[in-house]
Amino acid sequence: MRNTVKISFVFTALLLLGLSTEMYALNANPVEIVVWPKDTKQTIVGFGVSGAWWAQYAENWGTPTVNKIVKLLFNRKDGIGLSIYRYYIGAGDGKLIKDPWRRSHTFEPRPGKWNWNADKSGVEIMSKAVKEGVDSIVLMAYSPPAWMTINGSVAGGTNGGSNLKPDMYDAFAAYLVKIVKHFIDMGFPIKWLSPVNEPQWNWGMFGKTQESCHYSPQQVVKLSLLLLSKIKENNLNVKLEVPESANWILSIPYANALFGNPTIDKNVAVFWLHSYWSGLSAKKIFYDWLKMHFPDKKIGMSEYCQLIGGSRGLGMESALNMAKTIYEDLTVGNVVSWQWWLAVSKYNYHDGLLYVNFKEGKKESTSLIVSKRLWVFGNFSRFVRPGFVRVEDETDSKALKTVSFANSSKDKIVIVVINDGNETVKANIDVRNDFKVNVFSAFRTNKTKNLKMISHGHLLKSFAFDPQSVTTLVLNVEQR
C-alpha cells in the first residue's frame, strides 16, 4: 500500500509539472544519449516531396480534399511542415504511356506555341504549398517535349539511348530556363532546376511506363553547361540540381564527369542522387569516394520510396524503415536534403505519404488515407528547419538510433530518436559543450500516436522511448 501511494504521488507530481507519465520509466540502468552542439556537420537545406504523378489531377478530387492534402504536407501545426516542393514540368504528348497519372502537360506543345494554362491543377497545388509555408521549389523535368525527341516519344529512346535530338540541346535548355523565369516572375520561390532524372537507365527499353530520357555522363555535362549559361544570361538566382542519379554507387561516373568540368565544378556545390538499391556500405563507399576526389562537394538526396508492392504499407513497419533510411543518409552520407517521392499515390505500393481512392468524375467520392510514413517524416521535417546544422551525437544503446541538429543561433537542439525494437528503452540526455537545457518538448509517432506532444516542461534526468516509435526532442538551451 505504501509503495502504491509513493508511485501515485510521483506520477501526480509529473502531471503537475506538465510532463507526460509516458516519459517516466521505472526500469534501471538507462542508456546515454550525448550531444555536442559545437561539433557541427552538414547544414540542412530542407525536407521535401514531389508533385509528380498526382498534382496535375488533384483538381478532380474537390477543394476540401485538396486543401487537406496540402495542409497535411506543408503546414507546421496541422501537418508535417515540409519546406521543399518539387514541381513536375511535364513533357506532354504521352499517349503511349498507359497509366494516365504518369503523363503530364507541356507548356510548349509545339515550337514557339506556349500555353501557360496547360497545368492549372499542378500550378494551383504549388501555389497552395507556398501559402502553407514552402520556401524552396524545385522545377524538375523527366523528358524533353515530344517535338525535341528523336523518336517523337516522351517515354524514352527506341533502343534505350538518349532521346534528345543532338541539335535540340540548346532549345531544351532555353525551354527549361524560360519556365523557370516565368514562375519566378509570378512570385514563386524557385530555387533549383532539375533537368534530368535517373539518366543512367536505358528508359526506352523498359516499355512505355513514364516520361523519361537516358543521358550519358557527358550528355549531362553538355546540357548542364548550356543551362548554367542561360541561367546566368537571365540573371536568375537558381541552382542546378544534377544529375538525379538512380542510386549511390551508379553515381560515380556522373560525379566524375560533372565535377571534372571546371565550369560545373565552380557553379554546382551539391551532387543530387536517389537512395534506391543502396545499402549502408554502398552509401559509405560513394561518400568516401566523393570526399577523396571532390572534398568540397555536398550530397543531396532528392527521391526515395520503398520498392514494395502488394500493399500500401500504411503502418509503423514501413514508417520505421523510412526513418532508418533518413538516418543513414543523414549520418553516413551527410546529405543536406532528404526528399520523398510521391506525396500522393493511388497505387497498391509503398510509394505515397498519402493515398487517394476516387471514382473518375465524382469529386465527392474521393477518400484520403494517411500513412504512418507521413507522420514519421514529420518527426524530421516539422522540427529540423532549413539552416539547421547536424551536430555530433552518440548513444551506447544498440536499440536506439539518434540524429541531432542545432539552429544557427545555438539556442535550440533537435534530437530524433528511432526505437525500432520491441522493448522500451530508458535514456539519459546529456548536452555537452557547456549548454544548459531550459525547456524541452517531446513529440512521438507510434502505432497509436501521430506526432503527438507527449511532454513539455523541464528535462527529466531520464525518460523512456517506446518500442516501435520515432520521438523528436526539442530542447531550448543556453550556453553557460
Chosen domain end from 365, 386, 407: 386
pLDDT for the residue 28 = 54
378 and 398 co-located in one domain = no
CATH assignment of the domain containing 408:
2.60.40.1180
pLDDT exceeds 70 at position 30: yes
Q: Which long-range contacts (CB under 8 A, 24 or more apart) does 290-297 make?
A: 290/255, 293/255, 293/256, 293/259, 294/255, 294/259, 294/265, 296/269, 297/255, 297/259, 297/269, 297/270, 297/271
**Assigned C-alpha cell, 271:** 551532387
How crowded is the C-beta side of 155, counted as CA atoms within 13 Å?
16
In a domain, 101, yes or no: yes
pLDDT for the residue 373 = 98
Residue type, 453: M
In contact, 163 and 214? CB cutoff 8 Å? yes
Residue 366 banded pLDDT, cuts 50, 70, 90: confident
What are the tens digits of pLDDT across the range 126-141?
999 999 999 999 999 9
pLDDT exceeds 80 at position 360: no
In a domain, 1, yes or no: no
In contact, 232 and 240? CB cutoff 8 Å? no
Cα torsion through 100, 106, 111, 113, rounded to 10: 110
Average pLDDT over residues 33-39: 97
In a domain, 339, yes or no: yes
Chosen domain end from 386, 419, 434: 386
Least confident range from 12-16, 135-139, 210-214, 259-263: namely 12-16
Single out the residue of 129, 154, 159, 130 nearest to residue 144, CA to CA: 154
pTM to 2 decimal places: 0.93
144 and 233 co-located in one domain = yes
User: Is pLDDT larger for residue 362 or for residue 394?
Assistant: 394
In contact, 402 and 389? CB cutoff 8 Å? no
34 and 90 co-located in one domain = no
**Assigned C-alpha cell, 207:** 516499355
222 and 307 co-located in one domain = yes
Q: Determine what percent of the chain is predicted with pLDDT higher than 70.
A: 94
Based on C-alpha coordinates, what's the Rg of the chain? 24
317 and 458 co-located in one domain = no
Average pLDDT over residues 98-114: 95
pLDDT exceeds 50 at position 10: no
Return all residues near 430 (Cβ < 8 A) that are at least 6 apart.
32, 33, 34, 35
Q: Is residue 207 classed as helix, strand or coil in its secondary structure? A: coil
How crowded is the C-beta side of 35, counted as CA atoms within 13 Å?
28
Average pLDDT over residues 258-271: 98
- Give the range of the structural domain holding residue 111, as residue numbers without chain letter: 45-386
315 and 461 co-located in one domain = no
23 and 79 co-located in one domain = no
In contact, 265 and 259? CB cutoff 8 Å? yes
In a domain, 8, yes or no: no
234 and 160 co-located in one domain = yes
Average pLDDT over residues 131-154: 97
In a domain, 64, yes or no: yes
Distances from the Cα of 250 to the Cα of 213, 218, 254, 276, angstroms: 17, 15, 8, 11
Chosen domain end from 361, 386, 411: 386
pLDDT for the residue 459 = 84
What are the tens digits of pLDDT across the range 314-352?
999 999 999 999 999 999 999 999 999 999 999 999 999
In a domain, 51, yes or no: yes
377 and 405 co-located in one domain = no
Q: Determine what percent of the chain is predicted with pLDDT higher than 90.
A: 88
63-74 and 120-131 helices cross at what angle (nearest 10)? 50
What are the tens digits of pLDDT across the range 184-229?
999 999 999 999 999 999 998 888 899 999 999 999 999 999 999 9
In a domain, 110, yes or no: yes
pLDDT for the residue 93 = 83
Scored b (16 or more CB within 10 A) or e, 159-187 reads eebbbbeeebbebbbbbbbebbbebbeee
pLDDT exceeds 50 at position 73: yes
* Residue carrying the nine cell digits 543536406: 336
432 and 317 co-located in one domain = no
CATH assignment of the domain containing 379:
3.20.20.80
301 and 364 co-located in one domain = yes
What are the tens digits of pLDDT across the range 74-94?
999 999 999 999 999 999 988
Structural domains in the chain (count) = 2
In a domain, 414, yes or no: yes
E strands, 109-226, where? Answer: 136-141, 190-194
394 and 381 co-located in one domain = no
What are the tens digits of pLDDT across the range 371-391?
999 999 999 999 999 999 999
Residue 25 banded pLDDT, cuts 50, 70, 90: very low
Average pLDDT over residues 238-260: 98
